[in-house]
Amino acid sequence: MAFDGPDLDRAAEILAGAESLLVLTGAGVSAESGIPTFRGAGGLWRNFRAEELATPEAFARDPGLVWSWYRWRRRICLEASPNAGHLAIAGLEDRFPSFLLATQNVDGLHRRASSRRMLELHGSIHHSRCTGCGTVADLPADPGPEDAPPPRCAPCGGLLRPHIVWFGEGYHEGVLETAFAFARTAGAILVAGTSAMVWPPAAIALDGQAHGAALIDVNPEETEISRAADVWLAAPSGESLPALLARLPR
């Protein structure tokens, strides 16, 4: 289905009639900011795939390699800017008294686009957590040389890790519960830029739809969510989300 014309109008109608909106995003909304997605062509680093490095096993085996990958990614995130899709989502937040953005992304671009009522389901590439005392802290503004040794906790000397949810790990306390609870009361759910390959996040939108929410998916490619959606906008989020926002009554 094309993204302009009747589909866009139907999506705007759904949003205009909804009291509360949940937005769920994935790496695709940051693609137009130049950040490689997980499964797109750019998802490789030194011939490793994300799934091989974003795991506790990889970190236990070689924390230095995992830190090099995250420093490389973090530099890309810091040099990137939010795109029109991020800005449109921040614009949608202002239109809904009841709103939540649940992002799977760790790049920090939604926050830099002024999204406020949001959950980072998988944590943030800009935060570290001590494997010793559990302290969560901001990482320094400059990621530093890619191959520097893994950082250590000043107070306890423990090895720091990215404060990110890796494959095979559980979610940070209360994060999933909050997202599912909001989805079950939402009037509309707007999904953008996710392949819906990773569970449980992919289930949030489908569960919300099962509880009565109208579901819109924004993705140039077909996914399990676009197949279930009431409206599928098959176009880049940087184009379709601003067009959608522009169609909402002021």
* Residues forming the active site: 122
Among Zn ion, ligand BV8, none, what binds residue 132 when CB lies within 5 to 8 Å by partner kind?
Answer: Zn ion
Contact between 7 and ligand BV8 by CB under 6 A: the answer reads no
Q: Which is nearer to Zn ion, 126 or 161 (CB)?
A: 161
Given 90, 153, 165, 225, the residue binding ligand BV8 (CB under 6 A)? 165
The amino acid that residue 124 corresponds to is S
> In this chain, which stretch among 3-11, 56-64, 92-100, 186-194 interacts with ligand BV8, using CB under 6 A?
186-194
Q: How far is the CB of 157 from ligand BV8 (least distance, A)?
A: 25
Q: Quick check: 214 and 186 in contact, CB under 8 A? A: no
Q: Quick check: 27 and 197 in contact, CB under 8 A? A: no
Instruction: Characterize the bridge pairing of strands 98-103 and 118-120.
Output: parallel
Q: How big is the site for ligand BV8, counted in residues (CB under 6 A)?
A: 37
> In this chain, which stretch among 1-9, 35-43, 94-102, 205-213 interacts with ligand BV8, using CB under 6 A?
35-43
Instruction: Characterize the bridge pairing of strands 214-218 and 188-192.
Output: parallel
Helix axes 175-185 and 201-210, enclosed angle (nearest 10): 30
Given 133, 148, 181, 246, the residue binding Zn ion (CB under 5 A)? 133
Contact between 40 and ligand BV8 by CB under 6 A: the answer reads yes
> In this chain, which stretch among 89-97, 139-147, 166-174, 181-189 interacts with ligand BV8, using CB under 6 A?
166-174
The amino acid that residue 141 corresponds to is A
How far is it, in rounded angstroms, from Cα 18 to Cα 1? 23
Dihedral of CA 248/34/164/194: which sign?
A: positive
How far is it, in rounded angstroms, from Cα 217 to Cα 24? 9
Q: Where along the sequence are the contacts to ligand BV8 (CB under 6 A)?
A: 26-28, 31-32, 37-40, 51, 54, 104, 106, 122, 164-170, 192-195, 197-199, 201, 218-221, 223, 236-238
